[in-house]
Structure 1
Amino acid sequence: MTVAGKINSLVLSVAIAATVLLSANTLHREYSLSRNLALSNTAERAQSLPQLQLGVYYRDRSLLRFALSKLVKGRPYLSFARVVDDRGRTLSELYPGTIAETAPPSLESMRGTLPVAEIGLSTNQQSHGNVSQWWMISGIDKIWDLTIPIMSAINPTAATVNEAEFSKTLINADSAGSLHVIGYVHLGLSRAQLIRQLLPSGATVLAIAALFILLCAIISRYVTRRITAPFSVVKRMADDIAAGHAVKYEGVENSGEFKEIVSVLNRMVGGLHHYKTRMDVDHQLLSMKVEERTSQLSKRNEELNQAVKEVTETKDRLRHMAYYDSLTDLPNRRLFIEKLDVLLKLAKRNEEMLSLLFLDLDNFKRINDSLGHSAGDLLLREVSARLSLCIRESDLLAHYMDSESRISISRLGGDEFTVVLNRLDRAESAGIVALRIIETLSQPMTIDGHDLVVTPSIGIAIAPDHAETVEELMKAADKAMYHCKTSGKNKYLFYEKSMEAASADRLEMENELRRAIENGELLLHYQPQVDTLTGEVSGAEALMRWNHPKLGMVSPFKFIPLAEEIGLIVELGQWGLEEACRQMVELQALGINLPQVSVNVSALQFSVSFVDKVSEVLASTGLHPRRLQLELTEGIMMDDTAATISALSTLKKMGVELSMDDFGTGYSSLSYLSRLPLDELKIDRSFVIEIDKSENDANLAIAIIAMARSMGLKLVAEGVETHEQYHFLRNHGASVIQGYLFSKPVPFEEFKNLLAPGAFKPQIEQIGNGYAV
């Protein structure tokens, strides 16, 4: 806003404010005078009407109505008029004009404690819903209730007098000794009507005020234009200078001072213009340099950002590699221990319960051996995904795999998982979660086209009940898991102190098994394979036994899995191979004929160097390779097809026979089987047990027999114990039988007696005679 505008606004604001104050004061004073005059005139008029005294005394309503009409005549501000007796009862009332009738207040409420002979004045508000008056903004009118006593010289309680006497008394009222109040005139004065009477005078005042404001505005405009005219010239000069133009003389023709100023300014403008041109050139050069430098800095900044991003990504990747399992993307052993330590401290501080579940997949090694480690990896991923669905987001799930290279490479033992359940309300809740995990993992999983079912063994330890440190808690859960494994698998067990003794026994057994070879505690038992067509022993399977000095004969189902777990199976397998070959040579020296001996080879034992070891054993013992047969599992043949076929082919060229043990229990493909240089298939005992009762087992056995015939392979049925099993197998073409029906595994010295010519012929004839084919 210009200076002139500001001055005009200020003057106009002051004029308006002063006018409003004066107008308001004038109107209020006029209103007060009008109201007071209306009240006094109305009261005097009411007291001067003798008809009111007569009407009240004689209760003459027509006379009272006449008196009231005279009273309200010429007084438009009266909204109503009524006459009441000294007890407040209405004798007559009148509502002039168009204002709606409204019940007036009672006499007592208006006068209160006021003396009876005094004029009373009170106010009330009255709504005029059906009356539209523009000056009544809210529609509510203020009413002054004026009560004027009606005086009489005649006592109303005395005997009634006639009108002539009453009139005479009124004429001589001044000489009366006392006056009596016989009633009241109640008049309602409307504020709205009073204001309406003042409208003409109010309009005059407002008109004068508007003229005054207009006059002030005209004078202010004229004065400010005279005052600010030089400023406009100066502003125009400043604009010309700012634009770089020469200052013009328009408007300053009559001012010598301004002409001199214009001349000086024009010279300054010329100098500034020259300076500005030079500065523009300098600025352009500077801008080019700044732009070039900015581009360089921007490029350098992008390079730095990219470097920071790569460093951050590398750092995150290294941290992820250090703390997470590459296979399942779960926290690894290191991160798990760190987080478990933190959770234990929080649980101890908050006095809360925490549970550790140590989970191991049952027979996971069998899947690795049968389908290969790639299938095992896929299975572990599926297991980790299912485990994540069984726990809360606040719980901790980890793939508890040892970081040592031997386990990372072979992934043996990589089937262990740990689950931490924090903030438990009770220990039984951990069992509920464990049961949910068992049920979830028991659902079939499709891996490489195979429907697999895995079961877990879960050990549970509770903090602080069972342990308070990470190491103690993990040991307790591990012991519980081990006892779960040894007591049937596919379940969960809570840690108990009694497990400590069993763990100590297991540790002692591990140590004693390591010394068993040196102490000569191992020996071989042999179970004959009988050719039922000739009654001769066509071969024998060498089975390892452990004659413990204290425990006696230890079952191979105990110490063989233990040897595989602690990595001792390679040494045991090497000893068994050497001992079987040595004893075969001993039989030959005695003139005892045993065509062939079968030696079991563990999946952990079979490797590229195993072929060289077989060659060394044959050379050192002098056994002919044709007399040695190696029983291999399906897992050996699925581990690495090219390397396996090469190793098997080398053994085959040496003259060693190859047999697939427990055929049908794994997941081998028939296409693999056709490419392997095998000599024999063995029907697993699990099919033979129910072969005469289960249609599925019978069909599987028949299919294996037919497949062996079609591929030109020898066939051995192991685990035969009953006559029914024997005849079923014989009737379907399996002639070589191994099992308790003929003999259990026996020591070497006892086995010699079973190798006599035709030793089993009588038994075969007896079995044949007792069963009709």
Structure 2
Amino acid sequence: MRVQAVIDIPDRKTAFVQLELAVAQARAAGKRLVVAYIHLDRFFQVLETKGVTLGLEVLREVGERLARAGVGTKTKASVVCQVGANDFLLGQEVSGGAEDYGLIAQSLKYAVESPLLLDNCEFRLTASIGASVYPNDGRTSDQLLTRAETALAKALEQGGREICFYQEEDTERIKRGVAIDEALRPALYERQFSLSVQPVYRIDNGKLRGIEALLRWQHPTLGAVSPLELLPIAERNGMIVPIGEWIIRESCAMLAKMQKYGSEQLIVTVNISVEQLKDASFAGMIASVVMETGVEPACLELEIKESTLQPVELPLKMLTQLRAQGVRIVLDDFGSGSCSLANLQQLPINGLKISRSFIRHIDMPGAERHIVEMLIGLAHRLGLEITASGVEYIMQYELLREWGCDFVQGYMLGMPMQPDVLDLSSLRGVNKA
């Protein structure tokens, strides 16, 4: 068995040739073949911190480990190649069924993730693995490799450090993703997007505090495309910036109209992406929009998910600019990410929105009710307002009111709706914020 040299990264041609041979051998022997595509997560950090020379040594050691992992299982690996800067391909015959496929993938993951000591430096790598199986998932090397890559894409979409085996529906999902990618730009300029709103209430008096603007897309052929589908794609292809600007402009224009029927302090909440905060013109765009629409900056609330914030890359400068303009900033889905108290103190935010995963079970015995009560108390001690989302039952509402939560939203209080369905006459009694 030969591990490809990592000093000069070979093209994929060698891997294709070896994989073709492995498939032919498996076919002749009546065996199955697991094809695994192994990706080293965030390997660029090794290169940036330790240098290219040591990084290449790490890659060489990983390749040798993968080769030994193949030899150490019941059957010898037929292929071990490096097919990219930090990607490896392995093909291995198996005699058993699905359980053996999983054991092979686990052995490869363990080979990569076991601590590695080189030049007095300890490396702890992580791997994402996508795999396909001959003949279940394909009968040619091209099919098997393509489907292993499809499975790897799924593993990476789930945050990495995962093992995913190819499933037929993955291909349809990928095709739909490509179609969404291609349709995003025309959708924006053909005005295919629309907004729904969900009301947010003050818990002390039950009066309307504001609305959350929610993106909707009904495509002529793709049908309804949810934000969960389109936003990650928009973040990858850069369309999140113009789409995000459209959402903010439409939300502020909608708010300006609504404020004519009620309190001038009614608030609109808009979800934003970390990618938007990286855009140097973002704060300027916000200032321009509030000026054009006549909305007070304090009536625009921007929500950013806690889980998307990386502690080492906190967008403090942009968030500080926005706060200085008077815009409200809220950390959304709080409790679902890894934001430490130290990071929380750094962030120039006005409030927190508790993850609905905690709210869901607060009316039942368990840790969630204690966690939520503690988070509400912590937020108030830090001078932050707190919103609970996903409120669906009266008992949840009563507990949140007892614990001093500030604002609530959820299906019990109002489902997402078209703006013209919202009863604007109810806005006249909104309290001053």
Q: Which residue of the other structure, out of 672, 680, 686, is the alignment partner of 2:343?
A: 672
Picking from 610, 619, 642, the partner of 2:291 is 619
Q: Is structure 2 residue 406 aligned with structure 1 residue 731?
A: no
Residues 387 and 661 of structure 1: CA distance in aligned 2, closer, same or farther (over 3 Å): farther
Q: How does 1:612-691 map to 2 (within 5 A)?
A: 612-634=284-306, 635-636=308-309, 638-641=311-314, 644-691=315-362
Contact 1:525 1:747 in 2 (8 A): yes
> Offset at 1:503?
4.1
Q: 2:15 — aligned with what? A: 340
2-structure distance, mates of 1:739, 1:650: 31
Q: Distance in 1 between matches of 2:107 and 2:185?
A: 39
Question: Residue 341 of structure 1 aligns to which amino acid in structure 2?
Answer: F
Q: Which amino acid aligns with 2:311?
A: M
Which structure: larger Rg? 1
Check whether the contact 1:460–1:480 (CA below 8 A) recurs between aligned residues.
Answer: yes
Task: Tell me how far apart the structure 2 counterparts of residues 467 and 345 of structure 1 sit (CA, whole Å).
Answer: 10
Distance 1:499 1:665 in 2: 26
Q: Give, in whole Å, the separation in 1 of the partners of 2:381 and 2:81.
A: 50
Query: Separation in 1 of the partners of 2:92 and 2:255?
Result: 61
2:368 aligns with 697
Whether the aligned pair in 2 keeps the contact of 1:441 and 1:455 (CA below 8 Å) is yes
CA separation of 1:351 and 1:701: change in aligned 2, threshold 3 A: closer
Mapped to 1, the partners of 2:242 and 2:88 lie a distance apart of: 32
One-letter code aligned to 2:70: R
| 1:552 to partner: Cα distance | 4.4
For residue 710 of structure 1, report the CA deviation from its aligned partner. Answer: 0.5
Identity of aligned residues (%): 26
Q: How does 1:62-211 map to 2 (within 5 A)?
A: none
Output the amino acid matched with 1:678: I
Distance 1:439-1:549 versus aligned 2 partners, 3 A rule: farther
Assess, with a 3 A threshold, how the Cα gap between structure 1 residues 729 and 343 changes in structure 2: closer, same or farther.
same
1:564-609 deviation digits (Å, cap 9, x = unpaired): 3444323322221121112112223455655211111112221133
Per the TM alignment, residue 436 of structure 1 is displaced from its structure 2 partner at its CA by 5.4
Q: How many angstroms apart in 2 are the aligned matches of 1:652 and 1:593?
A: 20
- Structure 1 contact 648–677 (Cα < 8 Å) conserved: yes
How many correspondences in the alignment? 392
2:117 matched residue in structure 1: none
Secondary structure (helix, strand or coil) at the match of 1:392 reads: helix
SS in 2 for 1:605: helix
Structure 2 residue 90 is matched with structure 1 residue 420:
yes
Kept after mapping to 1: 8 A contact 2:62/2:111: no
CA contact (8 A) 1:582 1:621 kept: yes
Q: Are residues 461 and 592 of structure 1, via their aligned partners in 2, closer, same or farther at CA, if it must alter by over 3 Å?
A: farther
CA distance in 2, matches of 1:746, 1:665: 26
- Structure 1 stretches of 5 or more lacking a match? 1-318, 324-334, 402-415, 444-453, 761-773
Matched, 1:466 2:131: no
Q: How does 1:288-437 map to 2 (within 5 A)?
A: 320=6, 322-323=8-9, 335=10, 337-347=12-22, 350=25, 354-358=33-37, 388=65, 391-392=69-70, 394=77, 395-396=79-80, 418-425=88-95, 429-434=100-105
TM-score relative to the length of structure 2? 0.75
* In structure 2, distance between residues paired with 1:476 and 1:680: 44
CA distance in 2, matches of 1:427, 1:341: 25
Q: Which one of the candidate residues 380, 390, 402 is aligned to 1:719?
A: 390
Query: What's the offset of the Cα at 1:743?
Result: 0.4
Please give the residue correspondences for 1:55-66 in structure 2 after superposition, counting only pairs within 5 Å: none
1:403-444 alpha-carbon deviations (Å, 9 max, x no partner): xxxxxxxxxxxxx9554124555775544423656899999x
C-alpha contact 2:105 2:129 (8 A) present in aligned 1:
no
CA distance in 1, matches of 2:6, 2:105: 28
Report the secondary structure of 1:720's partner residue.
coil
Distance in 2 of aligned mates of 1:516 and 1:743: 28
Cα pair distance change 1:543/1:465, threshold 3 Å: closer
| Residues in 1 aligned to 2:81 and 2:69: alpha-carbon distance in whole angstroms | 8
Shift of 1:484: 7.7
| 1:559 corresponds to 2:244 | no
1:526 paired residue number: 197
Residue number in structure 2 paired with 1:610: 282
Q: Which amino acid aligns with 2:196?
A: H
Q: Distance in 1 between matches of 2:276 and 2:137?
A: 42
What is the deviation of 1:670?
Answer: 0.8
Shift of 1:530: 0.3
Any idea what SS the aligned residue of 1:535 has? coil
- Bigger share in helix: 1
- Given that 1:466 and 1:473 are in contact with CA atoms closer than 8 Å, whether structure 2 keeps it comes out as yes
Aligned to 1:770: none
TM-aligned CA distance change 1:617 to 1:345, over 3 Å: same
* TM-score, normalising length: structure 1: 0.44
Amino acid at match of 1:621: T
Residue 513 of structure 1: which of 184, 193, 196 is its match? 184
1:611-631, CA deviations, whole angstroms, 9 ceiling, x for partnerless residues?
A: 222223223333221111111
